Amino acid sequence: MHIDLSGKTALVTGSTQGIGAAIATGLARAGARVAVNGRTAESVDRARERIAADHPGADLVAAPGDLTGDDGLARVLEAVPAVDVLVNNLGVFGARPALEITDEEWRRYFEVNVLTAVRTTRAYLPGMTVGSWGRVLNIASDSAVVVPAEMIHYGMTKTALLSVTRGFAKEAAGTGVTVNSVIAGPTHTGGVEDFVYELVDRDLPWEEAQRVFMREHRPMSLIQRLIEPEEIANMVVYLASPLASATTGGALRVDGGYVDSILP
């Protein structure tokens, strides 16, 4: 299967590290012009340098801006006024006992994990529909379906993101624009390493700590390991391509079989 995104412009929010960086790299490898986003120009420049070092000739645009505010969104829109592919990856997560989650934390998680995706979609979707082609992809989580007891505020936002995805897919009906979410399972990133060590013995070597975490906290995983960010990126690149033209309004899983369901 050959995926060619030459001539397409993509924006990946929160793409200076982790899953976002892997997605930006995958889209660039497929030939897309990729706008890299982070809160600061410095973090964006470092990410672009890393991607360019691995893929010389990659067409990378700096699009710094904090998307939780109007000023940050304006900065991003100035850097990249129109896109063909929008990947809403920006998100925060962390463990907190349910009864200790404050109102401020509930609001912050919803603001970052849901409203930033709504804002960027609202900004870019009209241009896509005018051009009769586009892709909006929201990075959700298995926590949207299997809400973890240790971070129900995070699970709530990812459930909301599935609803947002379905709603915008209906808004884009018949336009040639598709809107989907990708349900990512437990994934190996720097942030997740910190999260794992919040829940298991910090003195354990990483490989053993990962096994303990999966066994004790994510026992439903069928692959029995953390997913690598590149594996999430592979699904995103496919959904961003013309090959996925008949897939919209969906929630497609890259979860290692974690969600106990026979539906995608």
Please state, for a pLDDT cut of 90, what percent of the chain lies above it: 93
Percent of the chain with pLDDT over 70: 100
| pLDDT mean over 29-51 | 98
Largest distance between two CA atoms of the chain? 55
Distance CA 82, CA 61 (A): 12
Q: Where residue 101 falls among pLDDT bands split at 50, 70, 90?
A: very high
Residues 178-197 have pLDDT tens digits of 999 999 999 998 888 988 99
pTM assigned to the model: 0.95
The answer to which of 133-147, 152-166, 182-196 has the lowest mean pLDDT is 182-196
154 among known catalytic residues: yes
Q: What is the pLDDT of residues 81-93, one digit of tens each?
A: 999 999 999 999 9
HEC letters along the chain: CCCCCCCCEEEECCCCCHHHHHHHHHHHHCCCEEEECCCCHHHHHHHHHHHHHHCCCCCEEECCCCCCCHHHHHHHHHHCCCCCEEEECCCCCCCCCHHHCCHHHHHHHHHHHHHHHHHHHHHHHHHHHHCCCEEEEEEEEHHHCCCCCCCHHHHHHHHHHHHHHHHHHHHCCCCCEEEEEEEECCECCHHHHHHHHHHCCCCCCHHHHHHHHHHHHCCCCCCCCCECHHHHHHHHHHHCCHHHCCCCCCEEEECCCCCCCCCC
Q: What's residue 264's pLDDT? A: 77
Report the C-alpha gap between 27 and 21 in whole angstroms: 10
User: What average pLDDT does this structure show over 125-143?
Assistant: 98
Residue 172's pLDDT band (cuts 50, 70, 90): very high
Helix crossing, 70-79 with 116-130: angle to 10°? 30
Catalytic option among 109, 154, 238, 258: 154
C-alpha separations of 132 from 77, 84, 125, 175, 178 in Å: 20, 10, 10, 5, 10
Neighbouring-strand partners of residue 16? none
pLDDT at 195: 85
Question: Sign (positive/negative) of CA torsion 162, 165, 170, 176?
Answer: negative
pLDDT of 131 reads 96
* C-alpha count within 13 angstroms, C-beta hemisphere, residue 151: 21
Instruction: Please state the φ and ψ torsions of residue 212, each to the nearest 5 degrees.
Output: -65, -45
pLDDT tens figures, 224-237: 999 999 999 999 99
pLDDT band per the 50, 70, 90 thresholds, residue 6? very high
DSSP 15-38: -SSHHHHHHHHHHHHTT-EEEE--
Range 3-26 average pLDDT: 97
Domains (range + CATH), the chain? 9-187+228-253 (3.40.50.720), 188-226 (no CATH)
pLDDT recorded at residue 263: 84
Give the residue-averaged pLDDT of 99-128. Answer: 98
| 162: enclosing H helix or E strand | helix 152-171
Phi, psi of 57 (to 5 degrees): 90, -5
Instruction: Encode pLDDT of 51-62 as tens digits.
Output: 999 999 999 999
| pLDDT, position 105 | 98
Beta bridge partners of 252: 182
